Amino acid sequence: MPLSPVETLASIFVMAIVTFFTRALPFLLFDRGDHPPRIVLYLGKVLPPAIIAMLIIYCLKGVTFDTPAGWLPTLLAGGTAVGLHVWKGNDLLSIFGATVLYMVLVQAVFV
C-alpha cells in the first residue's frame, strides 16, 4: 500500500467523479427543456444494438485459438444462449442454461 489513507480517498474520489462525468456528459449537453437535436435522438435510437454487439465482442476478447479449450466452451455456450433464446424466448432460461453449460465446460470438460 504505497498510498496514505487520505491519498487513497483522493484517488477513489477522482475515479468516482470521472466515472460519473462520463455518464453525465450527454445529459449535461443535450438534456435541456426543449428537445435534443435530431441527430442526438437518432444516435440514441440506433446506438443500443451497435453497443450491445460491441460489448459481446468485448466479452469474447479473451478467446484464443491455440487449443480447443480456448474457444470451444465459449462457442458452445454462446451458441446455446442464442439457440435457446430463438427457440424458447425466455431470458432467464437462455442465460442460466448457457452459463451453467459454460461453467461445466471450463471446470470439468476442458481443464
Partner 1 sequence: MDRKTLAAAFPATVPVLMGYLAIGMAFGLMLQTAGYGVGWALLMSLTIYAGSGQYLGVSLLATGAHLSQVAFLTLMINFRHLVYGLSMLEKFRGMGLRKFYMIFSLTDETYALLSAAKVPQGVDEHRYYFAVAMLDHSYWIAGSVLGSVLGSALGFDTTGVDFAMTALFLVIAVGQWKKAGSHLPALLGGGATLLSLLVVGAEDMLLPALGMIVILLTVLRRRLEEVPEKKEESLCR
The footprint of partner 1 on residues 24-83 (CB under 8 A) is 24-27, 30-31, 35-36, 38-62, 73-74, 77-78, 81-82
| Gap between the Cα atoms of 58 and 37, Å rounded | 30
**Between residues 57 and 67, which has the closer beta carbon with respect to partner 1?**
57
With contact defined as beta carbons under 8 Å apart, do 74 and 59 qualify?
A: no
Give me the least distance between CB of 66 and partner 1, in Å please.
Answer: 15
Number of residues this chain uses to bind partner 1 (CB under 8 A):
71
Instruction: Give residue for cell 448457457.
Output: 98
Instruction: Give residue for cell 474520489.
Output: 13
